[in-house]
Chains A and B, each alone.
Chain A
Amino acid sequence: MHNPKKKDISSSRYTGIIGVFLLLYSALTILPFYLLFIRTFVPTGESTKLFLWLPKTPDFSLDTSFGNMAIFYSLDSDDFKKAMGIDDFIDPNLTFKEISEKYGIQPEKISAFMRPYYLFNGWIAIVKGRQFLRSLVNTVVITAGSILLGAVLSICTGSVLAGFRKRWHFLAYNMYMLQIVIPPALVMIPQFIITKELGIYDSLMGIILFNIKGGALPIMLFTSYIAGVPKELKESVTIDGGSHATYVARILFPLCKVPFASFTAIQVPLVWNDLLYPLLFLKPENYTLTPWVNTFVGGEFSTNFQAIYTGLFVSLLPLLVVYIVFQRFFIQGAMAGAVKG
């Protein structure tokens, strides 16, 4: 006789091993993000050293040249001049000692001003730069617009297509399904030409239009859900003298919470993180977060690794926070969407 429970993996004998394995895997998953976070505090000059915790702030050396601080620590010379009350062009070759002698400023004052720059210059540079906030706002606008308008349009399409009552319903549905096999890279050059011709280049609305154009996932989710809505609801609206529009607005919009949750959970990361469309259709000053980070290397911060690490981390942070707060929503939405599809 076999012992029924003998080889069952869920017996307590294995639970411990599985727990340890999952703990290790989770730790390895967190590790890169943690290291990235720590790197936002590591000065560029100490890049080749390993830090697993915040580095100690060294004493500020007054022998450093002003130009070096500007290059490797993204020191804004205007900020420095304002804080020190200097109204003059500062020669980048001067050391801070020479500056303090030349302009009669106490060395302690300079040290106090410069000290945070070792650990926090990345954060100072990113937060002070307007581009971060602008990119964040653009990303939020594009994501919110794409999700809401996309859901409204997809519910409208789904309300017509549901049930495939006519031959063209099925044809149209299959045309939407075609989108799943078309890689964006295949159509990006003609899409760019269309954008230019339509005059929607460099507008957030243009990106939103691209995102709400409908595709396999939203049409599938909403059409199959609406097809399952009891016919009696539609009939009762018709009997009460309401049109199809009333049915969509009063019955379907409030009813479609479930497919909307799946749609949002799957679509938010895709739209928020997208690199290709903003890169193609927006000018650099209107970039969303992802292409904004892409401009760092070889750009403004090419000499300041710390600022690049910080910018990268800061660009990942907003969605990370949203995810942690709404974790159940994201995971359950994706799982429900997968089962439906």
Chain B
Amino acid sequence: MDFSWVKGSITKWVRMKPKRGEEPVLEFFLFAPQFILYITFTILPFMIAIPILFTSRTDFLDSAVEFVGFRNFSAIFSPPLVNDYLPAVKRTAFYTFFNYLSVYIFGLPLALIMYEYVSRLKQSFFTIIYLPYIIAPFGIGMMMSMLLSRDTGSLNLLLVELNIISQPIDIMDETVARWALPIVAGWKNAGFNMAIILAGLLSVPRETVEASIVDGVSYFQRLFFIYIPQIIPSFIIATIMCLLGSFGAFDLPVGFGGMRGNNAAMFLAVLLYKMGFAGSVSQSGTLAQAVTISVVTYVPLVLIAILLNRLQKRLE
């Protein structure tokens, strides 16, 4: 048999030298550390999660793990677990929708106002409006739920004192908390959304704006035909940040007491945390079922997000 082709390709491989200025080995060592960390902590979890889906694992110490097939998938859609799961999905979806809306209720108007406003106080206002964004979401949630607590909350006492409300707000009430969470989140993120939309507005060529003013168009014509089309990229960033942040929201609802029995703040992430880490005693679900819930809920979302991203790139 003729092995000369092997010999030939080996010599070729040995002789193959990197082009000038290229150092593949060094590049690999610069690239590898972060990539290994990234794979370990972000991609590997998916692979670990898959086998757990089909087992009866109740907690991290469970030694009698059995193969249960697809029983976990049916378990999360049947009582008692479905009574925790579906309301948590509904609450999270409600929060996500209104939190996204708040980009346009808080961020957009503030950015438009800041864009036009000329004053020495501008910087101070900007600093104050941006301030809640810096503060821990957990701290904001806890602060607001304490200041709005029914009998002792200072904000409640103040509102009653000023006769703005006749009855104190009960933050533990399901309906109140449902609205309070996205409003607080909108207020907290207002500064950030304002900043990124303002960054988009500032990149609009000044000549375009001045030409429109000379032509005598109204403010709203300018808004819809000049500003908004030019700040679409800012909206896309705000959208991505907001949607992903909201559906996995954990800190803010925990601040509102999601782990201490405030059911209205029992979001998906909080439910998953409780099922996985707070011990299966207080909860009806097992660890394997928590993993099943996260996969069933989030994996479709992740796929949709990737598809949307592809679509957006194709449109560009």
Interchain CB contact under 8 A, A189 and B113: no
Interchain CB contact under 8 A, B144 and A32: yes
Within 8 Å by CB of A235, from B21, B121, B123, B302, lies B21
Contact status of A316 and B136, CB under 8 A, knowing A160-B27, A161-B31: yes
Interchain CB contact under 8 A, B135 and A316: yes
Interchain CB contact under 8 A, A290 and B213: no
How many residues belonging to B are interface residues under a CB distance threshold of 8 Å? 103
Interchain CB contact under 8 A, B254 and A294: yes
Interchain CB contact under 8 A, A185 and B248: yes
B-side contacts of A338, CB under 8 Å: 195-196, 199-200, 234, 237
Interchain CB contact under 8 A, B31 and A172: yes
A-side contacts of B302, CB under 8 Å: 181-182, 186
Task: Say how far B28's CB is from chain A's closest CB, in angstroms.
Answer: 8
Interchain CB contact under 8 A, B142 and A293: yes
Interchain CB contact under 8 A, A18 and B45: no
Interchain CB contact under 8 A, B118 and A10: yes
The stretch of B6-14, B70-78, B268-276 in contact with A is B268-276
Interchain CB contact under 8 A, A210 and B158: no
B-side contacts of A245, CB under 8 Å: 26, 30
Bound CA–CA A324/B127 (angstroms): 8
A-side contacts of B219, CB under 8 Å: 7-9
**B97 in the interface (beta carbon within 8 A):** no
Bound CA–CA A213/B40 (angstroms): 9
Interchain CB contact under 8 A, A157 and B35: yes
**A15 in the interface (beta carbon within 8 A):** yes
B-side contacts of A189, CB under 8 Å: 49, 52, 272, 276, 287, 290-291, 294
Interchain CB contact under 8 A, B199 and A339: yes
**B60 in the interface (beta carbon within 8 A):** yes
Interchain CB contact under 8 A, A280 and B38: no
Interchain CB contact under 8 A, B113 and A10: no
Task: Say how far A271's CB is from chain B's closest CB, in angstroms.
Answer: 11
B-side contacts of A129, CB under 8 Å: none
Interchain CB contact under 8 A, B272 and A275: no
Task: Say how far B289's CB is from chain A's closest CB, in angstroms.
Answer: 11
Bound CA–CA A121/B34 (angstroms): 47
How many residues belonging to A are interface residues under a CB distance threshold of 8 Å? 110
Interchain CB contact under 8 A, B157 and A49: yes
B-side contacts of A335, CB under 8 Å: 195-196, 198-199
Within 8 Å by CB of A26, from B46, B128, B136, lies B128
**Quick one: which of B38, B44, B129, B133 has the most chain A CB within 10 A?**
B38
Interchain CB contact under 8 A, A276 and B290: no
Query: In the complex, which residue of chain A has the Cβ closest to the Cβ of B113?
Result: A18
Contact status of A327 and B127, CB under 8 A, knowing A157-B35, A193-B48: yes
Within 8 Å by CB of A36, from B117, B137, B143, lies B143
B-side contacts of A331, CB under 8 Å: 126-127, 130, 195
Interchain CB contact under 8 A, B216 and A3: yes
Task: Say how far A62's CB is from chain B's closest CB, in angstroms.
Answer: 27
Bound CA–CA A308/B116 (angstroms): 42
List residues of A (269-326) whose CB comes within 8 Å of B's CBs: 269, 272-276, 279-280, 289-290, 293-294, 297-298, 305, 308-309, 312, 315-316, 319-320, 323-324
Bound CA–CA A296/B92 (angstroms): 26
Task: Say how far A82's CB is from chain B's closest CB, in angstroms.
Answer: 33
Interchain CB contact under 8 A, B138 and A293: yes
**A229 in the interface (beta carbon within 8 A):** no
Within 8 Å by CB of B272, from A178, A188, A298, lies A188
**B250 in the interface (beta carbon within 8 A):** yes
Within 8 Å by CB of B49, from A31, A190, A214, lies A190
Interchain CB contact under 8 A, B60 and A193: yes
Within 8 Å by CB of A22, from B46, B125, B196, B198, lies B125
Interchain CB contact under 8 A, A26 and B213: no
Interchain CB contact under 8 A, A35 and B155: yes
Query: In the complex, which residue of chain A has the Cβ closest to the Cβ of B223?
Result: A9
Interchain CB contact under 8 A, A30 and B128: yes
A-side contacts of B41, CB under 8 Å: 191, 194, 209-210, 213
List residues of B (2-57) whose CB comes within 8 Å of A's CBs: 20-21, 23, 26-27, 30-31, 33-35, 37-38, 40-46, 48-49, 52
Task: Say how far A231's CB is from chain B's closest CB, in angstroms.
Answer: 10
**A21 in the interface (beta carbon within 8 A):** yes
Contact status of A280 and B277, CB under 8 A, knowing A7-B218, A309-B146, A335-B198: yes
**Quick one: which of A3, A180, A323, A338 has the most chain B CB within 10 A?**
A338
B-side contacts of A9, CB under 8 Å: 116, 219
Query: In the complex, which residue of chain B has the Cβ closest to the Cβ of A159?
Result: B30
Query: In the complex, which residue of chain A has the Cβ closest to the Cβ of B267?
Result: A185
**B68 in the interface (beta carbon within 8 A):** no
Contact status of A181 and B276, CB under 8 A, knowing A5-B213, A334-B195: no
Interchain CB contact under 8 A, A275 and B147: no
Interface residues of A (CB under 8 A from B): 1-10, 14-15, 18-19, 21-23, 25-26, 29-33, 35-36, 38-39, 47-52, 153-154, 156-157, 159-161, 172, 175-176, 178-194, 196, 198, 209-210, 212-215, 234-235, 238, 243-245, 248, 269, 272-276, 279-280, 289-290, 293-294, 297-298, 305, 308-309, 312, 315-316, 319-320, 323-324, 327-328, 330-331, 334-336, 338-339, 341
- Nearest 5 CB-CB pairings of A with B: A183-B248, A2-B216, A190-B45, A273-B136, A185-B269
Not counting A15-B117, A187-B294, a sample of 19 additional A-B residue pairs whose C-beta atoms are within 8 angstroms of each other reads A10-B117, A19-B121, A29-B129, A48-B151, A159-B30, A182-B42, A183-B244, A184-B250, A185-B248, A187-B42, A245-B30, A273-B139, A275-B136, A275-B138, A309-B146, A327-B127, A331-B126, A336-B199, A338-B195
21 CB-based A-B contacts, threshold 8 Å: A4-B213, A8-B213, A18-B113, A19-B119, A36-B143, A172-B31, A181-B302, A183-B244, A185-B268, A189-B287, A193-B48, A194-B40, A213-B37, A269-B133, A269-B134, A273-B138, A273-B139, A276-B251, A290-B138, A319-B135, A339-B200
